[in-house]
Amino acid sequence: MSDIAMQARGVERRYRHARRTMFERPRETVALHATDLEIRRGDAVGIIGESGSGKSTLVRLLLGLDAPTAGAVEYGGRAIDARARATSLHWLRAATGIVFQDPYASLDPRMTVGRIVGEPLWALGIAGDRRARVREVLADVGLEPAMANRYPHEFSGGQRQRIALARAIVHGPETLVGDEPLSALDVTVRAQILALLAELRARERMTLVLVSHDIGVVQSLCDVVVVMKDGRIVEQGPTQQVLRAPREEYTRTLLAAVPTIDGV
């Protein structure tokens, strides 16, 4: 088995816009320029940068949720073809879990919590006592198993994100990806979910990929940091090394923008 969990080689993503008139030239937006990235198994990698820097685009390509315009993406040394039939990527869905930014939009309000959390088990055809596994994973994220019979609107934002996290790990993925999973939460709840992510990663020995604009979150949770700007990786390396002695002016600008209290 490869010690590289996720890899991007020369990956680009361009979006073509429809012409507003027949005389207008076709327009393109380059969301991600030719990018190379390796994420090793067991590492916790933080991807930081301003809005529009290409963080989420890169993660979507790594997860096979979108297809690159150019370049290649692999998981565990196996090529990912995002244009293939959904069933052909079951192996990738089984190996990965994702938590999205908005705990309100990411859960289907018509489904019970038990059905939401257990959905990957049914979708991937994982055998066993699925209801028991749902109750087990709800307890793992700090929720009462009896909550499986309730609906998302009955929960707070922090509880909903715990539900989303339970759904992401219920099938035992090797890699957990969080796309700004803490940004919609208040400070107290954010700290709780951050501690929960750290605990789950240590216990399950998962690879973790965390997209965030919050440098403090990345510093506390991630071994490696990747800095993105305008669709390019401009700096990467061990988190403490990069944040203490950044080589790039852009990284220094990001660090200087971190809020402080009374200049501390």
pTM, 2 dp: 0.89
> How many Cα atoms occupy the beta-carbon half-sphere of 172 within 13 Å?
5
pLDDT in tens, 209-247: 999 888 888 998 999 999 999 999 999 999 999 999 999
**φ/ψ of residue 177, rounded to 5:** -115, 130
Q: Half-sphere exposure (CA, 13 Å, Cβ side) for 205?
A: 1
Q: What is the pLDDT of residue 33?
A: 96
**Which pLDDT score, from 0 to 100, does residue 259 have?**
61
Question: What is the pLDDT confidence band of residue 263, given thresholds at 50, 70 and 90?
Answer: very low
pLDDT at 22: 66
CA dihedral sign of residues 163, 167, 168, 169? positive
| 1 has a pLDDT exceeding 60 | no
Coil/strand/helix, residue 240: helix
4-14+29-256 belongs to which CATH class?
A: alpha beta
pLDDT band for position 56 (cuts 50, 70, 90): very high
Q: Could you state, in order of their start, the residue ranges of all structural domains in the chain?
A: 4-14+29-256
More confident residue, 115 or 18: 115
Contact 164, 119 (CB under 8 A): no
pLDDT for the residue 200: 87
What residues have CB less than 8 Å from 43, skipping those under 6 apart? 5, 207, 208, 223, 224
Q: Are 88 and 101 in contact (CB under 8 A)?
A: no
- Give tens-digit pLDDT for 169-185: 999 999 999 998 887 77
| CA dihedral angle for residue 202, residue 205, residue 207, residue 208, rounded to 10 degrees | -20
pLDDT at 48 over 80: yes
